[in-house]
Amino acid sequence: MPELPEVETVMRGLETVLTGQRIAQVRLARANLRFPFPADFARRIEGRQVLRLMRRAKYILAYLEGGDVLILHLGMSGRFTIIDGKGRMQALGEFYDESTPPDGGQGPHDHVVFTREDGLRIVYTDPRRFGLMDLIDETGLAGHKLLAGIGVEPLGNEFDAPYLAEAFRGKKAPLKAALLDQTLIAGLGNIYVCEALHRAGLSPKRRAGSLVKKKGYDPRLEDLVRHIRAILKEAIAAGGSTLRDFIQPQGEKGSFQQVFAVYDREGEKCRKKRCGGTVRRIVQSGRSTFYCPRCQK
């Protein structure tokens, strides 16, 4: 599933073509994605101007005039493609799965087409249909079933070592599992947690609560917060990570995978200077974890 940097990349791409624009038409090729579309979905969007976009965890939120908010989630294989009046395309996200390219909004996996007043189309393509779209009044956004209970943003001001210390206090869960808990931290995913733990020199297997003391916390929590922020910012700047066929709005592939230190590098040498360890893969909660047992304690 696309993680925070990839979703942020797509959101920024959509901003360039939707903010301040009016949606003239919405065409639905089917009645549902992962869930059915809301009643009158197309009618409630058509004729509305898009005021702004933002990301919350792994969701994209498009605020419409009149007070409604369009909630978008890419699922495993969702992507948006911009098609101008001359048929030229720009892909806004294809992270993990090679799929049939959009056919101007008429292909078998092109499920939703948003058309601007000037004819430019934004096509949502999703072969697996694990993505979703919902439409809700802004006043109910915080309590929406998809967003209620989501933790702090890892790039926001609330995310710091004292916050992590309180979140981890008494937790017996492995450190990696605690960091992936979306009720604690919004949007962190498998790739970037593995990379951040490696930079911080912390084992993904250690108990999260072991970093919390009766008074205060292990200073390595400060390092962990710093590395999480840095890795996310670096990945966003690189356009995300391309594991198969993700393409940025500018037509370039995300490049952060070129500097992976541990993720997907099982059996290779650790990239930390003077470490000499070998990257190992284990399974935690059904997910692959990559780490160096020599320098991560």
Catalytic residue list contains 108 = no
Please report which residue ranges of the chain form alpha helices under DSSP H. Answer: 4-18, 41-45, 161-168, 175-179, 190-200, 220-237
Catalytic residue among 34, 281, 287, 294, which?
Answer: 287
Question: Burial code of 226-240, b = ≥16 C-beta within 10 A, e = fewer?
Answer: ebbbebbeebbebbb
Question: Do the beta carbons of residue 45 and residue 23 sit within 8 Å?
Answer: yes
Catalytic residue, chosen from 3, 6, 8, 153, is 3
Q: How far is CA 292 from CA 192, 224, 263, 268, 279, in A?
A: 15, 16, 10, 10, 5
Question: Token digits for 116?
Answer: 């601007």
Helix (H) or strand (E) holding 99: none
Catalytic residue among 2, 5, 174, 204, which?
Answer: 2
Backbone angles phi, psi at 10, to 5 degrees: -65, -45
Candidates 58, 199, 253, 265; catalytic one: 58
Q: Catalytic: 166?
A: no
Q: For this structure, is 2 an active site residue?
A: yes
What are the catalytic residues?
A: 2-3, 58, 287
